[in-house]
Structure 1
Amino acid sequence: MLKYAVSLTVILAVIWLLFSGNWTHPILVPLGAVSVALTVYLAYRMRVLDREGHPVHLLVPVIKYLPWLFKEVVKANLVVASHIIRGRKSLSPRLCRLDATQKTDLGRVFLANSITLTPGTVTVYVREQEVWFYALTEELEQGVLSGEMDRRVTRLEGES
């Protein structure tokens, strides 16, 4: 718990200093310190200072995952653009179900958000070990159902 409180304090202080631009103001800097301390205290009281509420352990795995996700977003953009050019008749919207292999809620949320970030797909429902999503075409559906995104998010989750 202490390491999460310390890391949250450091992150909030750095963000406050960067966004405010006030490093030496005699009133604003102490008020910024009070706001950071109050925020960390409230997070502690709300019991959200834990591994899932403050996932700093995922920083390196997420940095490794993002280039792959970016590539998938670009590929899906090209698919959607080609269907826009071909017209409405080329679309075949569908509601699909994916078995999720993530162990934590945070992992499932990460998977659901990754699906939604990919053009042409939107997550509509997440439950225990399944994710329901909407896909504009069979090609986009198969891209998600191939399981590559699920495997990568599970690996990301496991590297913690």
Structure 2
Amino acid sequence: MFALVAFWIGMSGHFEPLLLGLGVLSLVLTLILAYRLDILDREGAPYVRLIGFAMYFPWLMKEIVKANWTVIRACLRAELDIAPTLVKLKTICTSDLAKVTFANSITLTPGTVTVEIDGDKLLVHGLYEQDSQPEAFLEMDRRSARAIDGKGAAA
């Protein structure tokens, strides 16, 4: 919310007391209503995990590049040697935001797609059975949980 206030002030250039006062009043009213409606949570405003996610993102990019090489090699081979599989994973992520981050990270990594999330279990489709075992996703699960939920060990 404060980012929006700073953005508006920076872009509008209006510093009249009436406009600033009305802005503060609407900000306070919004906060009161959000509190009364019980909609204030970490997932609604995930800015507290911005640093954790900023540290997770470069690692994820490296994993995406590594997985791209595997898929590119599979596409360029004369014979198709894929062994598609579906695996169930149990995640240590507790919040919905962390689970979605983990599931999207799997899907962003070429060769794997998250098909379903059911509680703390994910159903994942992989191109290669040997690369799609539950152990292959442990590091991503730990890093997602640490980045978003703030728990778990990041190696």
User: Given the two structures, how large is their TM-score scaled by the length of structure 1?
Assistant: 0.71
Deviation digits for residues 79-127 of structure 1 (CA, Å, limit 9, x no counterpart): 1111110156222222111111112222111111111111111111111
* Percent identity between the two aligned chains: 37
What is the Cα-based RMSD across aligned positions, in Å?
3.2
- Secondary structure, counterpart of 1:152 in structure 2: helix
Q: Relative to structure 1, is the Cα distance of residues 15 and 126 closer, same or farther in structure 2, using a 3 angstrom cutoff?
A: farther
Task: Say whether residues 1:61 and 2:52 are aligned partners.
Answer: yes
Report the number of matched residues. 144
CA distance 1:151–1:13, shift in 2 (3 Å): same
Equivalent position of 2:77 in the other structure: 86
2:123 aligns with 132
The answer for unaligned runs of 5 or more in structure 1 is 1-8
Partner residue of 1:13? 5
How far is the alpha carbon of 1:56 from its aligned partner? 1.2
**For residues 17-47 of structure 1, what are the alpha-carbon distances to aligned partners after superposition, in whole Å with 9 as ceiling and x for unaligned?**
77xx5545x9xx98xx69x95xx56x82764
Who wins on radius of gyration, i.e. which is larger? 2
Q: Is the 8 A contact 1:115 1:144 kept in 2?
A: no
Which of 29, 40, 44 is the aligned partner of 1:49?
40
Aligned equivalents of 2:110 and 2:135: distance in 1? 11
In structure 2, the gaps of 5 or more residues are none
Look up the match of 1:113.
104
Question: Which deviates further from its counterpart, 81-90 or 54-63?
Answer: 81-90
Secondary structure of the structure 1 residue equivalent to 2:68 = helix
Alignment partners' CA distance in 1, 2:48 and 2:103: 20
Q: 1:50-86 deviations in whole A, cap 9, x for unaligned?
A: 2121111111111111111010000011111111101
SS in 2 for 1:115: helix
Q: Which moved more, 1:9-18 or 1:104-113?
A: 9-18
